[in-house]
Amino acid sequence: MKTEKETIQVKEQANGFETVTGAEALLRCLVEEGVDTIFGYPGGAIMPVYDRLLDYKGKLNHILTRHEQGAAHAAQAYAMVTGKPGVCFATSGPGATNLITGIANAYLDSVPVVFITAQVVSNLIGTDAFQETDILGVSMPVVKWNAQVKKSQDIPETIAKAFFIAKTGRPGPVVIDITKDAQYEKLDFKYTKCNYIRSYNPHIPLHTRAIESAAIMINHAEKPLILAGHGVLISGAENELLKFAEKTGIPVALTLLGLSAFPTGHRLYTGYLGMHGNYGPNFLTNEADLIIAIGMRFDDRVTGNLKKYAKNARIIHIEIDEAEINKNVIVDLEINNDAKEVLDNLIPLVQKKSYEKWLREFRICDKTEYEKVIRSETKPEKGKLKMGEVVRLVSELTRGDAIVVTDVGQNQMTVARYYSFSNPNSLVTSGGMGTMGFGLPASIGAKIGKPDKQVVAFLGDGGFQMTIQELGTILHYRIPVKIIILNNGFLGMVRQWQDMFYSKRHASTELVNPDFVTIAKGYRIPAKIVSERKELKDSLVEMLETEGPYLLDIKIDKEANVLPMIEPGASVSEMTLTYK
């Protein structure tokens, strides 16, 4: 008589299966998908998975954050800098609901993250059991796809689908909710990667006629302008964009999430689009006779008043997500496909040209912007420290080579305006959601994703305190991120709006802050206050040269505003350069 174990082994050899628990199967699936890092936080319902995780040291590196929201943002940043899907674990109930902000953030910014949430034992679902939340229902409006697994044998197929869906087409977050019994029950494990789902085809056939039409429109344009977005980076089309722009001679503007898709120093680069973007590309959008929008979605922060947006231009929209085409702006030619594939096919069809006269119009705008805004922001000789000069100095000291992470608000807009990016995917920021508290945990994910890169986080004093607990994660793993707090003692962007549109009534925007240096010391992170211009450069150099994490609390002019600005309801061509 064979023992039961021997019988199982014989069966396994015959079928190529191995009998394992659901928890073990999940971790094997992740290894098969090339995952090496997981951000997460344990709890009751996910304990079987964490128990198995102990045996995966060296294969699956788990980063314990101090809050699930931190894990979600870190996983997103990891995905943004590596191009691989991020992975995030949380337990049922509050663990899962704490992820929601991070899930929504990844959804709006099209970042592939696979969220694994645990669920109560399947026979308790629907009974309001302890730590039971309907996370499928709660997350539904902010995921690309979600599914619940109640039987261990469904784990491999569901995880395979999750990775395929998260990273293909327009990427996005996926939530897989696994009941506790599915984690401890056994299954015959075999993993097959997914690359086919009947109802989902991310590989859209190329529409060659549309590309030919685009080439004709481009070759006949007199004032063409390229608006490039995050889609260029996701598609890996930076070189194609560069080639396309250089061949056609067409000026390029980038959206916030498109920053770093085109070299900041290039002569065809005209700046960054949006409410606080550069004057030239915003103002001249309404002068252009042809707009070539690539991998961007005409967000309201980019278009300003839609009724007065790009009325002189015909618009070509190259976009992988069909639902984004004609959503905000009605376009003349739609090319529903991947940016890289379209540009590859378009480049041979366009003529070599240059638009020196048109480019001069941008230079004139640049000069105006420099005189009215940039000079005083980046090279002030007296007065309080400005955010712009700090960012510009860090940009110079790191030669534009760092991965820059921001929080949300004035700090973010200033980084977008004044950091000179030289490498693709080197800005990690929360675009569509504008999630305060994103910066600190995102810097952790970015550094773990790209350990060889200098990672600098620019945070406001408000956003920093929204996820300040992640200093614990930095302490725990000695994550060498450089944290710069642009500290103006205010929720600066809201305060700026109060000054401009609410009669300077500062309702709940002034902050009473703790001593951040003392707090950093508690987490054994070296820290320093900078309040004088003369000590700024040396302090930044010291921060960048120190091994390990470092925090600089930089005291900024309390009531400075980010300019220029397209005021709410205004057109892009009505961008204001001076604060009235």
Nearer to other proteins, 165 or 227 (CB): 165
CA angle (163 as vertex; 157, 168 as ends), nearest 5: 125
Residue 195 touching other proteins (CB under 8 A)? yes
Token pair, residue 18, equals: 């191995």
Q: Which one from 9, 17, 32, 131 is the annotated catalytic residue?
A: 131
Q: Which one from 80, 217, 296, 493 is the annotated catalytic residue?
A: 493
- Which of 421, 345, 413, 450 is CA-nearest to residue 565? 413
Q: Which of 76, 98, 146, 411 binds other proteins (CB under 8 A)?
A: 146
Helical (H) or strand (E) element with 335: strand 333-335
d(CA 225, CA 223): 7
d(CA 437, CA 37): 22
d(CA 548, CA 439): 18
Q: How far is the CB of 144 from other proteins (least distance, A)?
A: 7
Q: Which one from 180, 386, 450, 482 is the annotated catalytic residue?
A: 180
Residue 327 touching other proteins (CB under 8 A)? yes
Token pair, residue 367, equals: 């000069």
d(CA 295, CA 67): 33
In angstroms, what is the C-alpha Rg of the chain? 25
Q: Contact at 8 Å (CB) between 292 and 350?
A: no
Nearer to other proteins, 116 or 147 (CB): 147
User: Is 130 assigned a catalytic role?
Assistant: yes
| Pairing, β 427-428 against β 403-406 | parallel
Quick one: which segment of 197-205, 224-232, 239-247, 279-287 binds other proteins (CB under 8 A)? 197-205
d(CA 230, CA 110): 8
Q: Which of 8, 9, 19, 32 binds other proteins (CB under 8 A)?
A: 32
User: Is 131 assigned a catalytic role?
Assistant: yes
Report how far apart, in Å, the C-alpha atoms of 86 and of each of 36, 43, 109, 119, 201 are: 10, 20, 14, 21, 22
**Site map 150..189 versus other proteins, x via CB under 8 A:** ---------------x------------------------
Q: How far is the CB of 196 from other proteins (least distance, A)?
A: 4
User: Is 84 assigned a catalytic role?
Assistant: no
Nearer to other proteins, 32 or 542 (CB): 32
Nearer to other proteins, 340 or 392 (CB): 340
Q: Contact at 8 Å (CB) between 199 and 118?
A: no
Residue 136 touching other proteins (CB under 8 A)? yes
> Binding to other proteins (CB under 8 A): which residues in 287-326?
321-323, 325-326
Q: Site for other proteins (CB under 8 A): how many residues? A: 33
Residue 347 burial (C-beta neighbours within 10 Å; 0-12, 13-18, 19+)? middle
Q: How far is the CB of 140 from other proteins (least distance, A)?
A: 6
Nearer to other proteins, 140 or 541 (CB): 140
Amino acid at 349: L
Nearer to other proteins, 69 or 158 (CB): 158
d(CA 209, CA 336): 12
Nearer to other proteins, 186 or 372 (CB): 186
Q: How far is the CB of 384 from other proteins (least distance, A)?
A: 44
User: Is 180 assigned a catalytic role?
Assistant: yes
Report how far apart, in Å, the C-alpha atoms of 81 and of each of 86, 126, 200, 322, 425 are: 10, 39, 26, 26, 6
Residue 140 touching other proteins (CB under 8 A)? yes
Q: Which of 8, 83, 145, 246 binds other proteins (CB under 8 A)?
A: 145
Residues at the site binding other proteins, with contacts judged by CB under 8 A: 16, 32, 136-137, 140-141, 144-148, 165, 190-201, 203-205, 321-323, 325-327
Catalytic residue numbers, as ranges: 68, 130-131, 180, 493
